[in-house]
Structure 1
Amino acid sequence: MRPRAAGPSVRRTGWRRLRLGLRRTFGRPRGAWTLAAPLLLQELALVGAGAAMTLLAARLGPAAVAAIGWVEVLAQMLHALIGAVAIGATVAAAQAVGAARRIDDARLTRRLQRRLSPLAADALALVGVGSLGLSLALWLLREPLVDTLLPGVEPAVRAHALAYLAGHIVADVPAGLVMVAAGLLRGMGRTAAATRIQLVMTASQLLLAAVCMHGLGWGVDGAALALVLSRLLALAVALRALAWLWPQPVAAATTRPARPATGRLRHVGRALLARWRRRGWRSLASRQARAVVRVGWPTAVESGFFHVGKLLTQALVAGSGTAALAANFIAFSICGFINIPGNALGHAGTTLIGQSLGAGRPRRAQAQLQRLHRSARRALIALALPVAAAAPALAALYSADAAVQRLAAQLVWLNALFIPVWAASFVLPAALRGAADTRHALAVATVGMWSCRVLAGWLLGVQAGWGVIGVWLGMFADWSLRGWLFHRRAESGRWLPPAA
């Protein structure tokens, strides 16, 4: 008797087993990838937008590329301060959502609105005032800043840098408000809405930059204008996404036949202005604002140390020659794609841990942290292996120099070897921020940065003569120390609130 051929039910069973196996390997904790999937798209969009802007600037000549590239590096350091406040807003919103979900679903929406609307208003006011003050200071100091940090450059580079820096300064206020609004949405678990804001900002900047820089022939001035307009457009989308926090009265909705988008924006603007008139400068010292700053200031200092350390290690690499500097840039560009799942899961972990602790479920938060680390480690390894195998071919896409290709491939191979440690050193602290455990992260990052990444990188790269390989080994030592300390912190449970 011949065996029966595999029918549809057998095929469905095999597919179901495969899905269950993938879910057990990568899909824990439950809900992590649902939150992380939009963030993966956002990270890919950011990487692709950076490459596209480089190509647009390259058509204007090397002076424009150098000026725009330098301003972007400076802007990353400044935005790290605002990003820290956005992280504080994410944690505060996540814990508020978790606390509100202790009650029945019938009252959930109104409870969330009462908890989150003052938090959103005060966080936006805090960043708006802070960004405005920072922008005014930078505007007054922009010429001395360029002359100090770019001494002896060509007049064309200086002029382009001043023009693009002016655009960044004007765009700082709407950009800061967009970052905080996206952080609030991520804390609520609405990562798709936060990603939509980022995609609108990125796509509009690229489109406007192409039109203004090359279509209208405005060059770097066109790039600065595109930057400002894209941030304003993203701010409108962000405020519209937050409009449900301030529900419109039924009577107003029936008597005003305005278009939905315009009506929502006007309503949100009136709500924010009404709270500012009622509270004034006290909004910057409210309980909600203090909760955001309490989480955000250690993250701001940590980000500042991290960027300063990166600049110092770049200086160490620059002393090893042009080939080493080129290989360092290429390897970082390739390895950046490997880190995308880890970054997305870290952001998702902040939301999950914050919501679990806000709901008064510390055991669930501890289990989620362990499973999140396990999933991130496995996902990073699964992505690092094929990238390492294709490292020589990928390096050849960036440079035709055989020495640069060989050195870049070696750096990618080393990165793949240490990628399991990366999950503990970066995904764990991102998730621990959901418990507002940011001061410990600051202490660990400070020790690791200065004792390993800078000091060990200098000893191995410069003193021992290992060049860029030695500098990267110092970076991996930083990963290892951070990963060990954060793993101990996660296992100890000392990051949980005292009441837990």
Structure 2
Amino acid sequence: MNKNAYLISLITLAIPAIIENSLQSLVGFVDTLFISKLGINEVASVGIANNILQIYFAVFMAISTASTIYISRYTGAKEPEKVKQTITHSLILTIIVGLLFGLISWLLAENLLKLLGASDEVLSQGVLYFRIVTTPSLLISLMYTLGAILRGTGDTKSPMRVGIIMNVAHIGLDYVLIFGVFFEGFGIAGAGAATVIARLIGVILLFRSLINKQLITTVFSYWKLNINVFKGLLNLGLPTGFERLFMRVGQVIYFGMILRMGTEVYAAHTITGNLTIFATIVGTGLGVATTTLIGKSLGANDSEGAKKYAKVSIVITSVSMSIISVIMFATSPWIAPIFTTNATVISLIIIALGIDTLVQPAIGTVSAYTSILQAGGDTKFPMYSTAIGIWAIRTVGVYVFGIHFGLGIVGVRIAIAIDNYVRAGFLYYRYRSNKWIKKLNIGSLNTQ
């Protein structure tokens, strides 16, 4: 194929994933908008709860990423038995982890929020919201894995269709349960309930898609525990999970620092995050397509094709994310007042988005390289890169620039910028070495 063919294949597969991620971000946007009408403490409450949720997402994403990598490889190699056994063992692992995190959420909700330094006003609302949305963590874990299974086979349209239905339902439920229609609304508790119901709808529909595609088997031998399959998933999943955990735990720590800078600074940071997510979702969608196509190419022993997909992904991801960032900054004077009437918060949001336009080229590059290396089976190097970037650069930088020098949100964004440019350099070095292309094989399977 020529370069245009690789580009078209990547974009074609990425578009449904981008649409799906866009809908999820739209729900987050609307959710924040609705909650902002309740008050600034409610915004901070949801922001803190969601910061902890990011750690949960990191664990669930580890399982789903490992599943996608193996399934795409075995799909490309035309080994349906290994595809099915990878699916069954991914689901078993997902259910165990989802139930465990649900129990932790119920028992330790207040302690976890206190760890972030939540005030008494924020704590009461935050614990309520956190328990509602995280006790059924099984739904979250299944959402990740079921979608990853479909994407690993090259089907990004089914998750998109499920996402449309789920997110439309979420927005409607959000309004009704937060504000009420013929009854008094439930406020922040209603926002949490709407999220849970929408996830339940999504899980049911994703299961139906897998059944229709005959990706879930009732043959017992595929469900019989096979240590080789679990080892394969863990070998890829653990570094991926730690990579996300290094990122999220670091965020929890420096978000705590931001919270101590004042409620206005924290609210501005939270709202800015909901705006910059529109650039991130494009990178995530392209990352999904990149992982799948490189995995299939390597499964078919086409390493040159994998490298060509990688080159196209790097350029298109960085450029597209940068363009979206510029658009968000240009429109921020009109968008920011939608979320708050606080003049200080609005000003801080505009400043933060302005700095982000200078950072997005690096963020896009990091996103592309991470997907490429993970698709090749090299999940450890992104983990090392993130550990250094988040802990040695970003978290320290937030304290030095944001607190020590008193630069506030400007200092926070400077620290984020330095982190991403340094990580981009690390990942580029690994990519150029070609050591990211690994041979993967779960091993012999007994499916008789």
Match of 1:233, as an amino acid?
I
Q: CA deviation at 1:326?
A: 4.4
Q: CA deviation at 1:93?
A: 0.9
- The answer to whether the aligner puts 1:290 opposite 2:231 as a matched pair is yes
8 Å Cα contact 1:32-1:349 kept in structure 2: yes
Match of 1:230, as an amino acid?
A
Q: CA deviation at 1:185?
A: 0.8
Match of 1:231, as an amino acid?
R
8 Å Cα contact 1:453-1:478 kept in structure 2: yes
**Of 369, 377, 380, the match for 1:428:** 369
- The answer to whether the aligner puts 1:46 opposite 2:24 as a matched pair is yes
Q: TM-score, normalising length from structure 1?
A: 0.78
- What is residue 389 of structure 2 aligned with on the other side? 448
Could you report, residue by residue, the CA deviation over 1:39-90 in whole angstroms, capped at 9, with x for unpaired residues?
2212221221112223444555666555444333322321221111111111
Could you report, residue by residue, the CA deviation over 1:141-187 in whole angstroms, capped at 9, with x for unpaired residues?
44555566666614x952x5444334334421132122101011111
* 1:25-64 correspondence to structure 2 within 5 Å: 28-58=6-36
- What is residue 358 of structure 2 aligned with on the other side? 417
Return 161-170 or 453-462, whichever deviates more: 161-170
Q: TM-score, normalising length from structure 2?
A: 0.86
**Of 149, 155, 161, the match for 1:190:** 155
* 1:367-386 correspondence to structure 2 within 5 Å: 367-386=308-327
For structure 1, the residue ranges without an aligned partner over 5 or more in a row are 1-22, 101-110, 248-267
Distance in 1, matches of 2:327 and 2:42, equals 36
Per the alignment, do residues 131 and 386 of structure 1 end up closer, same or farther by CA in structure 2, a change over 3 Å counting?
A: closer
Match of 2:357, as an amino acid?
A
- The answer to whether the aligner puts 1:129 opposite 2:70 as a matched pair is no
- What is residue 271 of structure 1 aligned with on the other side? 218
Q: CA deviation at 1:332?
A: 3.0
8 Å Cα contact 1:28-1:375 kept in structure 2: no
Aligned-residue RMSD, C-alpha: 3.0
Q: CA deviation at 1:434?
A: 0.9
* 1:87-486 correspondence to structure 2 within 5 Å: 87-100=65-78, 111-112=79-80, 114-142=81-109, 144-145=111-112, 153-154=120-121, 158=124, 160-213=125-178, 214-215=180-181, 216-217=183-184, 219=186, 220-244=188-212, 246=214, 271=218, 274=220, 279=224, 283=225, 285-321=226-262, 323-400=264-341, 403-486=344-427
Distance in 1, matches of 2:19 and 2:303, equals 30
Distance in 1, matches of 2:47 and 2:407, equals 28
Return 416-425 or 324-333, whichever deviates more: 324-333
Q: CA deviation at 1:353?
A: 1.1
8 Å Cα contact 1:128-1:176 kept in structure 2: yes
For structure 2, the residue ranges without an aligned partner over 5 or more in a row are 441-448
Match of 2:160, as an amino acid?
T
Could you report, residue by residue, the CA deviation over 1:227-252 in whole angstroms, capped at 9, with x for unpaired residues?
333332222211111114548xxxxx
Equivalent position SS for 1:339: helix
Distance in 2, matches of 1:444 and 1:293, equals 20
Could you report, residue by residue, the CA deviation over 1:403-439 in whole angstroms, capped at 9, with x for unpaired residues?
5444433332222123222222122102221112110
- What is residue 86 of structure 1 aligned with on the other side? 64
8 Å Cα contact 2:33-2:338 kept in structure 1: no
Per the alignment, do residues 136 and 459 of structure 1 end up closer, same or farther by CA in structure 2, a change over 3 Å counting?
A: closer
Return 313-322 or 122-131, whichever deviates more: 313-322
Identical pairs, percent: 23
- What is residue 13 of structure 1 aligned with on the other side? none
Match of 2:352, as an amino acid?
L
Q: CA deviation at 1:396?
A: 4.8
Distance in 2, matches of 1:221 and 1:405, equals 27
- What is residue 3 of structure 1 aligned with on the other side? none
Match of 1:50, as an amino acid?
G
Per the alignment, do residues 396 and 52 of structure 1 end up closer, same or farther by CA in structure 2, a change over 3 Å counting?
A: closer
Match of 2:145, as an amino acid?
V
Distance in 2, matches of 1:140 and 1:206, equals 29
Match of 1:129, as an amino acid?
I
Per the alignment, do residues 43 and 86 of structure 1 end up closer, same or farther by CA in structure 2, a change over 3 Å counting?
A: same
8 Å Cα contact 2:28-2:274 kept in structure 1: no
